[in-house]
């Protein structure tokens, strides 16, 4: 029984969509989440800056005693996870756009990918695309502005609706039948995106797959907390946007503790 926490970091509140999947699948695990909202969005930064911020977040999570770290940010995963794995002995779980399941599920062979500039321009994204998307047309869209609106609790704003129309309409013209959400912030927009897409187009994100992979690695490394009668405790650290976090996880478990702290 290993009660050390699972660590998470993201450029802000978006990785809470991953955190929710992991804590749902592994309710007995303690967690620590770092929301680096002060530096959001990572997707518009250069690779060196993304690595620097990822190292800072990792150092803090290791200092706090985490046994495994989930890089709950597509941009940080695609730009920094190889560096992190080479630098630290702790296991890392990354999150990438769910290209593989989309390539399997598409019938029209037209897939839309909504992501940040940092993710779409990364070497890892290019390698994954080349591996799984042969014979498939992808419509990539850099969704500038969505992360900032989510961070500032503007999901229901008119500006959000306008941006989603702008990004999704060209994909509908291209007859996509799958839309891959390539940023951990975007699952918080699924209801709004669904109204734009209609009922037939599949929306695919990586949350559940990341949770299952986390469970798998915990078991392989023999570092899981297997005390079934234990209810995990959760610390969420942020350097800003506490009210947005409270709204996004208001339906989550009551053991969650929110702490505002510059880390």
Phi and psi, residue 92, nearest 5°: -120, 140
Q: Within its chain, how far is the Cα of 27 from the centroid? A: 19
- Eight-state DSSP code of residue 10: E
Q: Would you give the DSSP letter of residue 43?
A: G
46 in active site: no
Q: Is 183 a catalytic residue?
A: yes
Whether the Cβ atoms of residue 31 and residue 235 lie closer than 8 Å to each other: yes
- How does DSSP classify residue 228? T
Decide: helix, strand or coil at residue 3: coil
Q: Helix or strand or coil: residue 138?
A: strand
Q: Which of 46, 66, 178, 183 is catalytic?
A: 183
Q: Which ranges of the chain would DSSP assign to H, the alpha helix? A: 16-25, 47-63, 74-87, 99-105, 117-120, 123-132, 146-151, 158-173, 190-197, 207-220, 242-248
Residues tagged active-site = 73, 183
């Amino acid at each position: 029984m290993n009660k050390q926490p699972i660590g998470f970091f993201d450029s802000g509140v978006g990785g809470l969509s991953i955190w929710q999947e992991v804590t749902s699948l592994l309710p007995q695990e303690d967690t620590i989440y770092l929301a680096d909202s002060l530096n959001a969005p990572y997707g518009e930064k250069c690779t060196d800056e993304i690595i620097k911020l990822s190292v800072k977040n990792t150092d803090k999570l290791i200092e706090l005693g985490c046994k495994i770290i989930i890089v709950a940010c597509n941009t940080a995963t695609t730009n920094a996870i190889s560096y992190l794995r080479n630098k630290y002995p702790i296991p890392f779980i990354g999150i990438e756009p769910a290209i593989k399941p989309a390539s399997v599920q598409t019938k029209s062979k037209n897939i839309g990918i909504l992501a940040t500039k940092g993710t779409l321009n990364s070497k890892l994204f290019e390698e994954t695309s080349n591996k799984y998307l042969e014979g498939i047309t992808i419509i990539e869209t850099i969704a500038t502005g969505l992360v900032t609106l989510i961070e500032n609790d503007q999901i229901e704003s008119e500006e959000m609706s306008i941006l989603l129309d702008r990004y999704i309409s060209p994909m509908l013209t291209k007859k996509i039948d799958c839309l891959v959400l390539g940023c951990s912030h975007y699952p918080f927009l699924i209801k709004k995106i669904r109204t734009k897409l209609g009922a037939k187009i599949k929306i695919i994100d990586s949350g559940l797959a990341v949770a299952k992979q986390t469970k798998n690695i915990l078991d392989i490394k023999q570092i899981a907390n297997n005390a079934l009668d234990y209810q995990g405790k959760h610390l969420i650290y942020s350097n800003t946007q506490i009210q947005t976090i409270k709204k996004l996880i208001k339906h989550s478990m009551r053991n969650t503790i929110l702490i505002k702290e510059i880390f």
